[in-house]
Structure 1
Amino acid sequence: MRNCLTVDVEEWFHVCGISGPFAFEHWDRLPSRVVETTRDVLGLFDACGARATFFVLGWVAARHPTLVRDIARAGHEIASHGHLHRRVYELTPESFGADLAESRAALAAAGVADVRGFRAPEWSINGRAPWALDVLARARFAFDSSMAPMRIVGDPAYPQRPHVRATAHGEVIEFPPLVDRRFGQNMPLGVGWGLRMSDPARVLAAIAERNRRGIPIALVVHPWEIDRDPPRVTLPLAKQFAHYFRLGGFQTRLEQIIRGATFAPMGEVLGLSAVDA
């Protein structure tokens, strides 16, 4: 069974809820690593023969359009990660719609006109933004991957398989990240620190178990997670853990996982064709 390999294309300093030196007005003065690290991701995927969905931040696309074109030329799907890496529930329906439009415009300027997928920064489409999927449907997005079935950023009651969400403006297919039941709760297994800390054999076993039940899964990686020389800054404790925990050796572990399962872009796994956009 084909599963989804996905990448959130953002800079190392695109961290939600952090002000001070990481505030938006300072972004252009911080050292950029996204081109080099995303090219490393592309090289890894090419070596493994894997294709993926790249959720590209509009802010990145506007500054590095050649990188976006390189991702598309390598056979990967381009989707939106929003424009300014803002949590959706901190926006209004109107400002969220504007952020989506700005993101799409940046991707279109980079040569990608067919953008039908979205992922919110920090899994921020949840009960605090019940209107968000309606905004996506109205903007003609076909699929979303923003609703995490776990506490803190989402809701453990959310389905753990791809499913259709009805809105006033049509349907949106929701594709959640891979989670696993541990310590009496759903924990991240296919994303972030949960993926980085897990033995590849454990991740592959979880993928195989879902696939036997006919459920495709989604893995999520960030280019900064395989940075060979990541910038080190002091963050609040929870952010520090999420951002830096077990970065060492992650590329090698990720390669084992990619080679041990079958992956394809999210739109293909969901059976969407170009005319569905």
Structure 2
Amino acid sequence: MTAAAPDPGLIRNALTIDVEDYFQVQAYAGAIDRASWDTIPRRVEANTTLILDALARHTTQATFFTLGWIADRHPGLIRRIVAEGHELASHGYGHQLVTDLTPATFRADLERAKAVLEDTGGVEVRGYRAPTFSIGPRNAWAWDVLAATGHGYSSSVFPVRHDLYGTPDAPRRPYHPEGRSIVEIPLTTVAAFGRNFPCAGGGYFRLLPYATYRFGIRHLHRAERRPAVFYSHPWEFDPGQPDVPQAKRASRFRHRVNLALMPARLERLLTDFAWGRMDQVFAADIAGGAA
């Protein structure tokens, strides 16, 4: 049975999925050797399929920021994403932090990912999200490299303070970084009491009550009349994934907390709000209309 669609008069938000496997996350970077990735059984296709099935039930489209590494190994998954009308975008090739790269190595990573995604999906790739939101003032050159490699927008800045990422003083709306042509579409925050509170998914969405996020998105709609950007990962729908005991205790907790709740919470999100692809929700900004 197809779920009832939200009121079409509601503000449409951008639903985004960062397609990577559980062993590729930054929280496990010190515990799992990158060289071992191909020896670990992959779970990403089955988990992404769960998300695709839920979106199909709700006749909803999303943007899938996908690793080139995944596209090389799961071409059928990439073709399904495109065939069902979702936007195929880049998460880079090997999930390396941009802060760990030089302009030359970042360009090589971007070009490698863009080539395999476009060759496999048969569509142009214009969007990009940096692993662990690793673009900001310290490496502003990254936006120039993105523009030079044919990307039209980035969604790589989270205007919050966090131990792994965050640019708390970044704009909260789409903007041209330091007057550049490329548009940065930041992850959603709610401004209150002189600071920004995250309202964009990820670990916060699993840790906090669902009502907190529903309130935050509704507040954004009422107070600012603009769409939210929500993100998640396929591994967040997989409570059966192997534990990584060699990782730090805090990292294991943040990675695994409330994974079993995610399928039901996604259903509630898809029912409570209207969603769409990043390139369509922010079409005017990407075309050059960002303030």
Do the two structures share a fold, i.e. TM-score over 0.5?
Answer: yes
Q: Which moved more, 1:46-55 or 1:199-208?
A: 199-208
Q: CA deviation at 1:49?
A: 2.0
The one of 223, 242, 248 aligned to 2:234: 223
Matching residue within 129, 138, 161 for 1:119? 129
Partner of 2:15: 5
* SS at structure 1 position matched to 2:26: coil
Q: Distance in 2 between matches of 1:272 and 1:142?
A: 12
**In the aligned structure 2, how far is the partner of 1:140 from the partner of 1:199?**
39
Alignment match, 2:26: 16
Alignment partner of 1:164 is 2:176: yes
User: Is 1:70 the equivalent of 2:76?
Assistant: no
- List per-residue Cα deviations over 1:243-277 (Å, max 9, x = no partner): 1112121210121012111111000011169999x
Cα contact 2:14–2:227 (8 A) shared by 1: yes
Asked if 2 retains the 8 angstrom alpha-carbon contact of 1:267 and 1:273, the reply is no
Report the CA distance between 1:130 and its aligned residue. Answer: 1.8
Decide whether the 8 Å contact of 2:279 with 2:286 is kept in 1.
no
Cα distance between partner residues in 1 of 2:254 and 2:191? 19
Name the counterpart of 2:7: none
Q: Does the C-alpha gap of structure 1 residues 112 and 238 become closer, same or farther in structure 2, counting only changes over 3 Å?
A: farther
Consecutive unaligned residues in structure 2, runs of 5 or more: 1-10
How many residues get paired? 274
Does the residue aligned with 2:108 lie in a helix, a strand or coil?
Answer: helix
> Within 1, Cα distance between the matches of 2:267 and 2:75?
27
User: How far apart are the structure 2 equivalents of 1:199 and 1:75?
Assistant: 31
Residue in 2 aligned with 1:265? 277
State yes or no: 1:196 paired with 2:206.
Answer: yes
- How far did 1:31 drift? 1.2
Q: How does 1:42-61 map to 2 (within 5 A)?
A: 42-61=52-71
SS of the aligned residue for 2:22 comes to coil
Please tell me the residue identity of whatever aligns with 1:93. Answer: P
What fraction of aligned residue pairs are identical, expressed as a percent? 37
Aligned-partner Cα distance in 1 for 2:244–2:190? 30
Q: Secondary structure at the match of 1:109?
A: helix
Give unpaired runs (5+ residues) of structure 1.
Answer: none
* The 10-residue stretch of structure 1 (136-145 or 31-40) with the greater mean CA deviation from structure 2: 136-145
Q: Taking structure 1 as reference, are residues 7 and 19 closer, same or farther at Cα in structure 2, changes over 3 Å only?
A: closer
**Residue 160 to residue 273, structure 1, CA distance change in 2 (3 Å):** closer
2:250 and 2:137 mapped to 1: Cα distance?
A: 22
Q: Give the superposed CA RMSD.
A: 2.2
More deviation in 137-146 or 171-180? 171-180
Give me the whole-angstrom Cα distance separating, in 2, the residues matched to 1:20 and 1:159. 31
Q: Which residue identity does 2:78 align to in structure 1?
A: V
User: How far is 1:228 from its partner?
Assistant: 4.6
Conserved in 2, the CA contact under 8 Å of 1:87 and 1:120?
Answer: yes
Deviation digits for residues 72-91 of structure 1, max 9, x if unmatched?
A: 11110000000000000110
Give the TM-score of the pair, scaled to structure 2.
Answer: 0.87
- What is the distance in 2 between the residues matched to 1:237 and 1:140? 40
